[in-house]
Amino acid sequence: MNLSWTLVIWLSVGAYAFKMLGFVVVGSRTLPDVLARCLMLIPAALLGAMVLNGTFTDAQSIVIDERAIGLLVAVVAAWRKLPLIVVVVLAATTTAILRLV
């Protein structure tokens, strides 16, 4: 087994152990209501941060290009309550067409 696979295995074990640590620490105790509500918001905040980072940055600089317009199309399509696949296709198509121009 080469070094890469050894690293992958150890990182997988570490990630699994880190996830299990939450069950061991919290156990059967209930979290305070405020903390439980905050924990429910973390995935949406992280997803939003990753989308904004991927849309408005390019390596080391802040840019506004066709990706921003694609994101705007996706936001409008989601606001209109279109199906998720339609939102993704509209955003990708808009971005691709603008890159061709």
In a domain, 48, yes or no: no
In a domain, 58, yes or no: no
Q: Residue 61: which H helix or E strand, with range?
A: strand 61-62
In a domain, 45, yes or no: no
Q: Residue 69: which H helix or E strand, with range?
A: helix 66-79
Residue 7 CA neighbour count, 13 Å, CB half:
3
Residue-level pLDDT, tens digit, the chain, 101 residues: 688 999 999 999 999 999 888 888 877 788 889 988 998 999 999 999 999 999 999 888 999 999 999 999 999 999 999 999 999 999 999 999 999 99
**pTM for the whole thing?**
0.66
In a domain, 6, yes or no: no
Buried b / exposed e over 33-53, threshold 16 CB at 10 Å, is eeeeeeeeeeeeeeeeeeeee
Helix, strand or coil, per DSSP, at residue 5: helix
Output the six-digit token pair for 85. Answer: 């696949």
In a domain, 7, yes or no: no
The domain of 73 spans: 64-101
In a domain, 53, yes or no: no
In a domain, 43, yes or no: no
